[in-house]
Amino acid sequence: MLVPLTAWIEPDRLPILIAAIIATAIVLYTTYHRRSRDRYRMRPIQGLQAVEDAIGRATEMARPLLFTPGWGGDIQRPTTIAALNILSHVAEKTSRYDCRLLFPTHDPVIMSVAQEVGREAYIRTGHSDRFQADDFAYVSSSQFGYAAAVEGMIARENPASVFLLGTFEAESLILAEVGNASGAIQIAGTDSTIQLAFFIVACDYTLIGEELFAASAYLSQDPAILASVRAQDIMKVLIVIAILTLLIIASTVGWPLESLSAP
């Protein structure tokens, strides 16, 4: 007995299947096509270029570096994952330079993951004895309780550099202003368009939107991660071309544009 094709594939979801196949093919191409991979270079991102300077400044001044992922996210948010990827790179540098790294957070799960990320970074550099788990601390789940705790930590510890990378809400301006008043060099980044304005005004360097997600590829220069970033760029170009093509065809044959929108 033959099973109809519709029993296996829902016609309404066929475009999603096609898009997934195309995306998979592009990722495989950018990952394994050596010539294409060697030609790909990420443009310089000023905020990430300043990471070394921020860590070096804290080391030279014998003051700690403070890194916090904000209050608005949990361990499942892409911004939190991106922040932890950057934390791994920062922890490697601070372990080599014997610079104290402070990581206050509002979520016990993020704290546990950050501790493991930091511990592995210190082990990779051969300085596991310098790792201090207590410096990766849960402070409060309350938004302004968290803001007050981080503000107090900045006032007491007087860090030379402050990294505000992750998901931030109303506490962003409080933290950025306190760090600015303390004289710390500040590198901030988030995908929240509302909070970006405060970071741009109060911080020295700001990662805008996708710059935060590309940070791990930029800092590590890992070929596999760079390939995934290039695959995303190619997909964006293809999506723009597809949208423009549909609009041109619709305007040429006289299709109502409302028919192209989702129900």
The CA-atom distances, in angstroms, between 36 and each of 39, 40, 223, 224, 231 are 5, 6, 11, 13, 11
Specify the pLDDT at position 250: 81
pTM comes to 0.80
Token pair listed for 28: 């495989």
SS3 string, 128-160, reads: HHHCCHHHEEECCCCHHHHHHHHHHHHHHHCCC
* CA–CA separation, 180 and 243 (whole Å): 43
* Residue pLDDT, tens place only, 161-175: 999 999 998 899 899
Structural domains of the chain, ranges and CATH numbers in brackets? 46-220 (3.40.50)
Specify the pLDDT at position 253: 79
* CA–CA separation, 230 and 233 (whole Å): 5
The stretches in the chain having pLDDT less than 70 are: 1-9, 34-40, 256-263
Q: Classify the phi-psi angles of 221: left when phi > 0, otherwise alpha if psi is within -120 to 50, otherwise beta.
A: left
Specify the pLDDT at position 105: 94
* Residue pLDDT, tens place only, 147-158: 999 999 999 999
* CA–CA separation, 128 and 112 (whole Å): 17
Specify the pLDDT at position 90: 93
Q: Is 29 exposed, middle or buried (0-12, 13-18, 19+ CB in 10 A)?
A: middle
* CA–CA separation, 179 and 125 (whole Å): 29
Specify the pLDDT at position 37: 61
